[in-house]
Amino acid sequence: MKIDRGDGVRLGLVSLLSAPPLGFATFDFMFPNISTPSMGKNLLLILALSLLAGMPAGYFQKRTDLAMMSVILYTAVGYIMAVVLYSAPYTIYNIENILPSFYYAMFFRFTIILLLLYVLGGFVGSILGQLIRDWIPGEETKLEFEGTPETKA
């Protein structure tokens, strides 16, 4: 798999821009009573969000392998972001973390289903993104031809 500089930049941008929804969703999944707004542990909503987050990966990348790689990358970045969010009180205010094992359980044991949804939703989303990207020029051409009076006549 060859990745040139343009592909790398695209991968990076998509990984950074698609990560915040997943970071927030992971944090919200663990703390639905204090997050704003909250999806309330609704897995269907999380799947819908991961579909949305995955669409740009397919829309902005013509190559399917790169789109898939983007999905894995932004899921990883999103998870790192969620860990940073969870650590906020302990790092910013230097408050002692009383349950380090809980920290581990929270993000690596309890969230296996989330991980599955993010990757699955991301893959499906990226396929949808590619379909939309391919559909737009065809639709534009169609409208262009339909809108010309000479063509109609």
Partner 1 sequence: MPLMKSIKEHWVTVVLYALFSVFFLVCSVVSAGTYSAVVRTQRNVELINPTSGVSILPNGSLELDFSIELSNPSRYVLHTQTISWYATLENGTTGPNMIITLGTAYTGPTTGLRVPPKSEKNFSFSSVVSDPAIIARLNGFINYSAASGHTYTLTTLPYNHQFSFIGTIGEFKNDYLREDYLNKLVTVEVTYSSGAMP
Helix/strand number for the chain, H first, E second = 6, 0
Q: Give the shortest CB-153-to-partner 1 separation in angstroms.
A: 32
How far CA 152 is from CA of 9, 136, 138, 143, 146, in Å, comes to: 44, 22, 18, 12, 7
Each residue 104-143 as x (binds partner 1 by CB under 8 A) or -, in order, gives ----------------------------------------
Does residue 94 interact with partner 1 by CB under 8 A? Answer: no
Kindly state whether residue 100 participates in binding partner 1, applying the rule CB under 8 A: no
32 binding partner 1? (CB under 8 A): yes
Work out how close the CB of 26 gets to partner 1 at its nearest, in angstroms, rounded to a whole number.
10
What's phi and psi for 3, nearest 5 deg?
-125, 115
User: How far apart are alpha carbons 74 and 14 in whole angstroms?
Assistant: 7
Nearest distance, CB of residue 52 and partner 1, angstroms: 7
Query: What is the spatial distance between Cα 86 and Cα 70, in angstroms, rounded to a whole number?
Result: 24
Tokens 């970071």 belong to which residue?
23
Binding site for partner 1 (CB under 8 A): 6, 9-10, 16-18, 20-21, 23-24, 27-28, 31-37, 52, 56, 59-60, 81, 85-86, 88-89, 92-93, 95, 102
